[in-house]
Amino acid sequence: MNCLMDKKYVTAAVKRIYWERVILHLDVEVYDHRSIKQKDVFEFYLLDENYSVVARFRKEETFPGKYHCWMNITNPGNCRCLPMGSYRCYVFENDYVMAKCMVLPELVPQIENCSRSFLHDNRGKAYSVNFYVSEGEEELPLLMHTLEAARIPLEQESNWQIIKSVARDPLVKLKKNLGRMFWKMVYFQYTLRYRNKEHVLMFMTEQSDTLGANLKAVLKRIRERGMEGQYKILTSARPASYVPQSKMSNWKLVKKLAQSKFIFLDDHAPILDWLKMEQTTKVIQLWHAGAGFKSSGYSRWGHLGCPSPISCHRQYYYGISGSRHISKFFSEVFGINEAQILPTGMPRMDEYLNPEYQKEKREKLYQEYPVCQGKKVILFAPTYRGKGRQDAYYPYEMIDFDGLHDLCRSDYVVLFKMHPWVRNPVPISDRHKDIFVDVSRYPNINDLFYITEVLITDYSSNIFEFSLMKKPMLFFAFDKIQYSFSRGFHRDYEEAAPGKVCYDFEEVLQALEDKDFEYEKVERYIELHFDYIDCQSSDRVIDWIILGNVPLDILREKVGWEDLYRKMKHMKMTALRQLEEKDSEA
């Protein structure tokens, strides 16, 4: 790489630093002092103290010479957190280093406030990103420092405390990792035995004792296409995410993992947080969520329950989404690149969109819930509150049951479908049972959408499926501020919600009475979230992933990121090092 910084053809100033969840944003103004200026030729790279190129910002020239740069610090492009170290940002033009990014003097007093700490591992560790300006230099180059920190004593320790900690810590670490070391050896031995696994597919969940949703749909379609003769199918379904498993159960799972060419998941698999699959195995995430609001995975890094820097998500070769437009949300959740999120659509939607299936389910639902016949149905289906499965709840006191009953008794039936993790039943009084029904035990919420006239929800991803019914929605967001702090949102809630947002139940009742649903938002939502509205999502998963027919534009983008990081490893910054060492000596 060549360096033209000493010519001062170009200078660059950082005018603003801000965060959007785990996305770091820089507004940079580049001043090109040459007589002939070229449009949008500059790239922005982070270099460490050894002048090694570590990452490249994504960028957009918003106005001639003005750039908006951004980087996901949990995944700058290589599906890993930005390593610990000190970095400076440089402006490149092709293979030339043109300038170092400086900080405007008026930004200096604010720069420390731009630093961030992301807590993880039950808030016992933190990943910090800190900003400074270099001291002892005439100019003000931007300096960024990243650090992975853990708990340390805040008071002087006695000799006895030091002896106990020295004796205890190695034993604690050994006890924690001994079992993992054993299973890693078992996995390695099985991989030596099962070398020929090109045609072995595994469908796996650690969230339930049955396969469901997307896993079930793809597996069903594989069988319908007669592919079982060509592929060996393995399955594993166990609730290991919240129920301890036996040694025999783990043994069977590890053996299946070692045999598999493709491993299809439907959610987080705790065993893959620490058991790394060999390179020839491809882990595919078929997550059930279409696209709600609440942040998950790495998009809520720093919040309680977020993943560690190294987790199951880092092993995904591909994930899926409903459209290219929303792939960025899934890539942020999993900490992988956007080109690894394939817009196949959700396989479980194949059955959902099937007219014959819809007709059959409508008839069965009216038989099971005869109170709905001849009435309009309101479905109240919010997500849970709490940290997770163990303490999930819904604050029923926020619902005005009397007011809802008075409004609906002549025209509507109200079905309450609570999140499966919410254990407490809906408190329906005897005088409300004529039109209120708790259907929380009904297994598939999507079936209920066929007879629903209005959906009332909050931050749930169930809006993804319901939107295709092209019916109105209301959003009861009484705790939006608290929820956005604890969980975070992918995007602006009011703008993205495909319906009217209400902040207390009185507003919900008024919107129902006035039929004020802001329905025009539904069509826009469908346009952004669905590249395909058909019954062929399972076929696309099979064709694109198993048979390797990924669309060329997506494949080129994926290969482009991989090539960039291979190239960066070999970018020699000798000329820049020599120039800066010479300047420091002077």
Determine the pLDDT at residue 461.
84
Instruction: Give a yes or no: residue 555 inside a domain.
Output: no
Taking residues 380-405, what's their average pLDDT? 90
Same domain, 500 and 543: no
The whole-chain average pLDDT of the chain stands at: 90
CATH number, residue 224: 3.40.50.11820
Same domain, 137 and 271: no
Q: Cβ-count burial of 382 within 10 angstroms (0-12 exposed, 13-18 middle, 19+ buried)?
A: buried
Question: What does the pLDDT look like over 79-91, one tens digit per residue?
Answer: 999 999 999 999 9
Instruction: Give a yes or no: residue 182 inside a domain.
Output: no
352 confidence band (pLDDT: 50, 70, 90): very high
Same domain, 127 and 64: yes
pLDDT > 80? residue 175: no
Token pair 């595994």 in the structure block, residue: 202
Same domain, 378 and 336: no
Instruction: Give a yes or no: residue 461 inside a domain.
Output: yes
Half-sphere exposure of 139 (CA within 13 A, CB side): 15
Where on the phi/psi map is residue 233: left (φ > 0), alpha (ψ -120 to 50), or beta? beta
Distance CA 293, CA 273 (A): 25
Instruction: Give a yes or no: residue 145 inside a domain.
Output: yes
Structure-token pair, residue 279? 């390179």
Element (H, E) at 235: strand 232-237
Instruction: Give a yes or no: residue 157 inside a domain.
Output: no
Token pair 């009185």 in the structure block, residue: 506
Same domain, 371 and 295: no
Residue spans of beta strands (DSSP E) within 282-411: 282-285, 316-320, 341-342, 376-380
**Are 283 and 268 within 8 A, CB to CB?**
no
Q: In what order do the strands lie in the sheet with 376-380?
A: 436-438, 412-416, 376-380, 454-457, 473-476, 500-502
Determine the pLDDT at residue 474.
96
Mode of pairing for the β-strands spanning 53-56 and 96-103: unpaired
Same domain, 411 and 328: no
Same domain, 337 and 400: no
pLDDT > 90? residue 173: no
Determine the pLDDT at residue 122.
85
Taking residues 543-569, what's their average pLDDT? 91
Task: Give the bridge partners for 234, in sequence order.
Answer: 202
Question: What does the pLDDT look like over 75-123, one tens digit per residue?
Answer: 999 999 999 999 999 999 988 999 999 999 889 888 989 999 999 988 8
**Are 315 and 281 within 8 A, CB to CB?**
no
Q: What are phi and psi of 254, to 5 degrees?
A: -60, -40
157 confidence band (pLDDT: 50, 70, 90): low
Angle in degrees, CA 547, 548, 552, rounded to 5: 140
CATH number, residue 363: 3.40.50.12580
483 confidence band (pLDDT: 50, 70, 90): confident
Tell which wins on pLDDT, 300 or 254. Answer: 254
Same domain, 139 and 197: no
| Nearby residues of 516 by Cβ (< 8 Å), 6 or more positions away | 500, 510
Expressed as residue numbers, the domain containing 59 is 2-152+570-585
169 confidence band (pLDDT: 50, 70, 90): low
Instruction: Give a yes or no: residue 558 inside a domain.
Output: no
Tell which wins on pLDDT, 140 or 155. Answer: 140
Same domain, 343 and 407: no
| Nearby residues of 467 by Cβ (< 8 Å), 6 or more positions away | 473, 498, 522, 525, 526, 529
Distance CA 428, CA 443 (A): 20
Determine the pLDDT at residue 178.
86
pLDDT > 80? residue 525: yes
Q: SS3 letters for 554-565?
A: HHHHHHHHHHHH
DSSP string, 429-473: -GGGTTTEEE-TT-S-HHHHGGG-SEEEESS-TTHHHHGGGT--E
Distance CA 551, CA 528 (A): 19
Distance CA 266, CA 36 (A): 54
Domain count, the chain: 3
Taking residues 403-425, what's their average pLDDT? 92
Question: What does the pLDDT look like over 13-56, one tens digit per residue?
Answer: 999 999 999 999 999 999 999 888 777 789 999 999 999 999 99
154 confidence band (pLDDT: 50, 70, 90): low
**Are 146 and 127 within 8 A, CB to CB?**
yes
pLDDT > 80? residue 235: yes
Question: What does the pLDDT look like over 250-289, one tens digit per residue?
Answer: 999 999 999 999 999 999 999 999 999 999 999 999 998 7
Instruction: Give a yes or no: residue 560 inside a domain.
Output: no
Distance CA 68, CA 45 (A): 13
Instruction: Give a yes or no: residue 557 inside a domain.
Output: no
Same domain, 92 and 230: no
Same domain, 213 and 301: yes
User: What 3-state class would DSSP assign to 174?
Assistant: helix
Same domain, 345 and 364: no
Angle in degrees, CA 55, 56, 61, rounded to 5: 160
CB atoms near residue 373 (< 10 Å)? 11
Percent of the chain with pLDDT over 70: 93
Where on the phi/psi map is residue 475: left (φ > 0), alpha (ψ -120 to 50), or beta? beta
